[in-house]
């Protein structure tokens, strides 16, 4: 592959990564909405949270953002545990869930910063 072809491919990949990150605020908002539903007592939000975290864990890695995947996987594991318990969610679990959501938000922010730094260099 020529240097020009490699440069073109690298730019296409950066563009795909930018597009993925452009939707990150909506993805985090979805996690926050689902967490709020759970905090209000709506247990049906637990499997939806698990699925949302699962999608982000997979897509983060696919787009080259391992911390998005790692933080999302942590949230997914917590949601799996809450789903299996099938009891009223304790305040400590809600706090842990909020921490997971904010960790995902932070991972997205870091990914965006890194991508912007790459683009400048």
Question: For position 116, which CATH number holds?
Answer: 1.20.120.160
By residue count, the chain amounts to 121
Residue 53 CA to residue 72 CA, distance in Å, equals 5
Q: Which domain holds residue 53?
A: 3-120
Task: Give me the pLDDT at residue 120, please.
Answer: 58
Residue 40 CA to residue 81 CA, distance in Å, equals 19
Higher pLDDT, 105 or 119: 105
Total domain count, the chain: 1
Q: Is the pLDDT of residue 91 over 60?
A: yes
Task: Give me the pLDDT at residue 5, please.
Answer: 83
Cβ neighbors of 60 (< 8 A, separation 6 or more) are 66, 67, 68, 69, 72, 107, 111
Q: Is the pLDDT of residue 41 over 70?
A: yes
Task: Give me the pLDDT at residue 51, please.
Answer: 98
Is residue 91 within 8 Å of residue 48, measured between CB atoms? no
Kindly report the pTM of this predicted structure: 0.90
Higher pLDDT, 81 or 87: 81
């Amino acid at each position: 592959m020529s240097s020009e072809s490699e440069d073109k491919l690298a730019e296409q990949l950066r563009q795909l990564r930018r597009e993925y990150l452009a939707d990150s605020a909506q993805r985090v908002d979805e996690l926050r909405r689902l967490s709020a539903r759970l905090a209000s007592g709506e247990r049906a939000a637990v499997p939806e949270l698990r699925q949302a975290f699962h999608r982000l864990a997979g897509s983060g890695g696919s787009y080259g953002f391992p911390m998005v995947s790692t933080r999302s996987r942590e949230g997914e594991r917590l949601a799996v545990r809450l789903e299996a318990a099938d009891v009223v969610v304790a305040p400590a679990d809600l706090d842990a869930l909020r921490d997971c959501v904010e960790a995902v938000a932070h991972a997205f922010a870091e990914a965006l910063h890194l991508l912007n730094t790459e683009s400048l260099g």
